[in-house]
Amino acid sequence: MDYPELYGYYFEDLSVGMAATVSRTITETDLRNFSGVSGDTNPMHLNEEFAKKTPFGGCIVHGMLTASLISAVIGTKLPGPGCIYMNQTLKFLAPVRVGDTVYAIATVKELIAEKKRVVLDTKCWVKDTLVIDGEALIKVAGRP
């Protein structure tokens, strides 16, 4: 039995400029859960007294928690379910704090037809601030 609702875009359905977004307001629970799952217990994320003495002046969200929203937009919307993540670059440009709403945006930048691969421009924003800039390489199935 085939389950078409489990698949995202086929390679042939994609075009340069297509974009999709996922957003999430980061909670204290998100931060604590990510710390537990990842094992990253850096006091920069968890200890307000410690973090107040740093250049950030308080706790910041794990960069990889923020970056995971890029994975969410790629895996659920563009290209969507069934795609294979091959590579991701990330430049962390500004801190994210608990309570911030992060918008992860993936935009088709290039289509590599011979290998059915897609290059995506990936960005995360908090309001008008670009917090992560990157690029992803994704393998996408062709139409059966």
HEC states along 24-78? EECCHHHHHHHHHHHCCCCHHHHCHHHHHCCCCCCCCCCHHHHHHHHHHHHHHCC
Q: What is the pLDDT of residues 34-69, one digit of tens each?
A: 999 999 999 999 999 999 999 999 999 999 999 999
The per-residue pLDDT for 1 is 55
CB-side neighbour CA atoms (13 Å) of 90: 17
The average pLDDT across 136-142 equals 96
Report the predicted TM-score, pTM, of the whole model to 2 decimal places: 0.93
Q: What share of the chain is helix, strand, coil (3-state, %, to 5)?
A: 30, 35, 35
Q: Which CATH architecture has domain 4-26+62-139?
A: Roll (3.10)
Residues 106-127 pLDDT 10s: 999 999 999 999 999 999 999 9
Mean pLDDT on 84-92? 98
